[in-house]
Structure 1
Amino acid sequence: MQLNTASRAWKPLPPGNVTLNGVPYESWPSNISGDATLSWSHRNRVTQGPGTLLVPQDVAGAYALEGSVTVEVLVGGVMKRSWPGLTSTSKIYTEAQRRIDDADPTKPVQFRIKPVNGTFTGTVRTTPEFTMVLSQAFGAPDVDYPPIHLPAGVANLNGLAMMDTNTFVVVTSQRHDTLNLMGTTQQRPPSRLITVTSAGISNLSGSSSLTGLVNGDAGASRFLNSMSCVVDSSGNFFVIDNDSALRRIDSSGNATTWLDLSAYAGDFSRGYGHLQGAIGSLTIDASDNLYVFTNYTRQILKITPAKAISILAGGWAVGEGNGTLVDGTGTSARFSFGCQLAADAVGNLFVQELVGGGVFDGTLRYCTAAGVVTTLKDRSGEGIGQMAVIGSDVYYSGYFDRYFGDGHLGVNKCTPAGVVSTLVRWVPTMGAPGAVLGIAHLSKDPGGFLAFCGYGPTQGNPLVGKISSGGVISQVWAGS
């Protein structure tokens, strides 16, 4: 077949041999780490090819450029940057520029390449989508937060909540007392609640040296081993203490035993020794409904502000063993021991199965407000740690020094549909200034995105900080 044309094309040919970080078009990557380098070869409608033969678009070779090239960057389908008049054969879109262009690190990126010659614009090439996995970018400590040292001897960070966007409330434990459990001497750390602000740290409730389950004002109150921490819409904090006591602490530090959950604690002998208390996790929704996980009866309890208790999901029967996962509705669902919970505004829950080497370590599940339980992601080498829900998505960290299976610590996001993406990753460096070696707890920051408490810059040193929606960590306060 012969095709006769009146003349050659007037418009410039689009660039050929388009690559992303050296990877050719036909093998275009779905995600990259670090900067994105777009490269191409010039093509020329006059000089390229022998005689009048048509030349494949991505044939190897370099030719004289006609005019110039315009490169545009689209993030989530919206154009964010444009570089007109380029005469080179590459352009770098940096990780820093990506952070600035859109705060959501999960949105896909595309390049659009336009050949321009005078008043003519040739065929525009739009690349496939890809995601830029943003590495850790430690921000300078917030200017409102000078370095503040934790009192000597603090051993554990047991919970975190935000009093407001400028005030962290951390549940800590310090001195260790001995406690006899089932004939075995164990260590039980007394706890207290401290606040961290720009003015320094202060005691909110409890004692650093005296233990007990004592209600009273900030100075008189005593705690045994408080775990988890949430705050309601009135500024009251709730913690789990002494395995099954749900205690409330107001903003002045006055502590009361709000609810005794010992009737729901179950049989201690069905647990995994003394690893966790009878009530293992606590979360709250926007209507101030509390949700707890009972370790020995394997149930999620819903507790209304009026203290009405109902079983949302889960259960255990004789002969089922300690670790059978079953999706289902209400009491037909089954969980393992030691689940962590995180609620969205309307009472849908993300459920993280046993951490610390358990057979289901890393399994993430979803429980709707109606009690329907499904599995979002099974065990995949990720030690899921603490969680916080922003909107309808959950953000979760690697559990202390449990890496994400690739030598990195970080924070991932998972949607209710089970789609996992990365907010931030980094390689922990022992002794490096500003390093975060582990995240112990995550919390929603009412004035920002995420708050956390963890460990660094040397192993065992506690710190608190914030993580922006763009994945930038600012260390706010570090213990000595």
Structure 2
Amino acid sequence: MPLKNLNANPHHPASIKNSFFLLAIVALFIAACGNELEFNKVPASSAVSVSTLAGSGAQGSINSTGAYATFYQPTGVAVDAAGNVYVADFRNNLIRKISPTAAVTTFAGSTEGFANGTGTYALFNQPTGVAVDVAGNIYVADNINQLIRKISPAGVVTTLAGSGARGNANGPAAGASFNYPQGVAVDATGNVYVADYGNNLIRKISNTGMVTTLAGKDSAGANNGADTSATFNQPTGVAVDAAGNVYVADEGNNLIREISPAGVVSTFAGSGARGADNATGTKASFNGPTGVAVDASGNVYVADYGNNIVREITPAGVVTTLGVTGTTASKLFKGPYGIALDVAGNVYVADYGYNMILKISK
């Protein structure tokens, strides 16, 4: 599987070098401040604050409240209508749930492996992305198992799509194949979209259980165009708006792409060069974006992983750094990987390096 330089590469089950000194400092600082660590900074465009919703900063799988809970390199996050936050806890092979009162529990999973079942009787292998539908069902990109899993509100885990073999086969869900799927999103009618990282494709699982290629072909590139004439390079995050436009964090290309309901792929923002320039459309730059989310007004939010910042893109394509500017911004995050929104417009970030779930309140 393709690797990028890191400290931490959630695309590959390689060993990771972690800064235990930094984590210790973070944990001590949180303990000194209480359960909620607030970072109030000068806003770039609107008044926001960044706080720790859950996680001490130490690696672990402790279920507790707020900063007393622990995660191990979380990569995906989703929020339901009731304000519950679901986390793809990558290294722990778990799906965690954070209640509106910040109580952290294990929603599904236990050790590494594959098994369908209820709650902790189910098994995952390095889950990377999560999404939640209007009925409260959770969808999981089960990365190493090459599967898309579904969890009912009661915690019953099933396989939605994938045979378990690596590949790019379309067709009925059970016979389809993926290649290290990274991100998932679901629309209002129950269609599921998958950032198929290893295949450089965006896949669609219809609400009738058919898997198709929405856009891209099985080769890396940055071509815009219709359907399979377009190309991606390691797409990692995916989101869908109410109109059916699909947004893609095209990590290898340092771009945010848009797929129209007609299947036409365009570059929504980014020049393709690595950078952190705030500008409009293709004059802006990103550095390995991994997560993307969209609000009801059409604003797109990006986990700009390589820059350690969160970006906001207006419907007109104007890119800003959310809430903070300059070097201060990069100190708030250490590998922001997954991103999600609640109904009030608050932003949630799965911070891979800090082992935390952070909340950006507007």
Equivalent position of 2:357 in the other structure: 464
2:86 equivalent to 1:158? no
Structure 2 residue 115 is the aligned partner of structure 1 residue 214: yes
2:118 corresponds to 1:225: no
The whole-number CA distance in structure 2 between the counterparts of 1:223 and 1:140 is 26
Contact 1:302 1:312 in 2 (8 A): yes
Q: CA deviation at 1:157?
A: 0.2
Structure 1 residues 10-409: aligned runs within 5 Å: 133-134=45-46, 137-138=49-50, 147-151=66-70, 154-173=71-90, 189=91, 191-197=93-99, 198=101, 200-207=103-110, 210-241=111-142, 242-260=144-162, 265-266=167-168, 277-316=179-218, 322-354=219-251, 358=252, 360=253, 362-376=254-268, 377-380=270-273, 381=275, 382-383=286-287, 384-391=289-296, 392-399=298-305, 402-403=307-308, 409=309
Whose Rg is larger? 1
Give the superposition deviation at 1:364. 1.8
Residues in 2 aligned to 1:140 and 1:148: alpha-carbon distance in whole angstroms: 7
- Secondary structure of 1:247's match? strand
> Structure 1 or 2: larger strand share?
1
Paired with 1:146 and 1:278, the residues of 2 have a C-alpha distance of 32
Q: TM-score scaled by structure 2?
A: 0.69
- Summarize deviations over 1:194-251 as a string: whole Å, max 9, x none: 11122621111111xx221111111311111112000111101010213421111112
Closer/same/farther in 2, CA of residues 150 and 203 from structure 1, 3 Å limit: same
Q: Which runs of 4+ in 1 moved over 3 A?
A: 132-142, 145-148, 163-166, 261-264, 426-430, 435-438
Cα pair 1:245 1:260 within 8 Å, conserved: yes
Q: Does 1:446 align with 2:346?
A: no
| TM superposition score normalised by structure 1 | 0.53
- Give yes or no for contact 1:148–1:201 (8 Å, CA) kept in 2: no
- Separation of aligned partners in 2, 1:296 and 1:140: 32
Q: Encode CA deviations 1:100-128: one digit per residue, 9 max, x unaligned.
A: xxxxx8xxxxxxxxxxxxxxxxxxxxxxx
Q: State how many pairs are aligned.
A: 288
- SS of the residue corresponding to residue 317 of structure 2 reads coil
* AA of the residue aligned to 1:156: Q
Change (3 A) 1:137 1:296: closer
CA 1:293–1:251 in 2, change beyond 3 Å: closer, same or farther?
A: same
Task: Give the aligned residue type for 1:206.
Answer: G
The structure-2 alpha-carbon separation of the partners of 1:262 and 1:133, relative to structure 1 and needing over 3 Å to count, comes to same
- Provide the C-alpha distance between the structure 2 equivalents of 1:278 and 1:438, rounded to a whole number of angstroms: 20
Let me know the Cα RMSD of the aligned residues: 3.2
Local SS of the residue matching 1:219: helix
Distance 1:330 1:235, change over 3 A: same
Query: Higher helix share goes to which structure?
Result: 2
Assess, with a 3 A threshold, how the Cα gap between structure 1 residues 166 and 133 changes in structure 2: closer, same or farther. closer
Q: Classify the secondary structure of the residue corresponding to 2:322.
A: strand
Q: 1:201 to 1:331 in 2, by over 3 A?
A: same
Corresponding residue of 1:24: none
Query: The residue matched to 1:228 in structure 2 has which SS?
Result: strand
Q: Match of 2:23?
A: none
Q: Deviations over 1:294-325 (max 9, x none)?
A: 33443222212211222222113xxxxx5322
Greater relative contact order (CA < 8 Å, ≥ 6 in sequence): 2
Residue 374 (structure 1) shift: 1.1
Q: Contact 1:287 / 1:346 at 8 angstroms: preserved in 2?
A: no
> 1:214, 1:283 → 2: CA distance?
22
Residues 278, 140 of structure 1: CA spacing in aligned structure 2 closer, same or farther, 3 A cutoff? closer
Q: For residues 225 and 102 of structure 2, what CA distance do their matches in structure 1 show?
A: 49
Preserved CA contact (<8 Å) 1:314 1:333: yes
Residues 368 and 263 (structure 1), Cα distance of their counterparts in 2 relative to 1, 3 Å cut: farther
1:342 CA displacement: 1.5
Cα distance between partner residues in 2 of 1:218 and 1:133: 42
What percent of counterpart residues are identical? 25
Question: In the alignment, what sits opposite 1:88?
Answer: none
Once residues 199 and 419 of structure 1 are traced to their aligned partners in structure 2, the CA distance between those partners, rounded to angstroms, is 33
Which stretch has the larger CA shift, 233-242 or 161-170? 161-170
Paired AA for residue 350 in structure 1: Y
Unaligned runs of at least 5 residues, structure 1: 1-95, 100-104, 106-131, 174-188, 268-275, 317-321, 404-408, 471-480
CA distance in structure 2 between the aligned counterparts of 1:410 and 1:426, rounded to whole angstroms: 10
- Cα distance in 1 for partners of 2:318, 2:244 equals 20
CA distance in 1, matches of 2:250, 2:180: 16
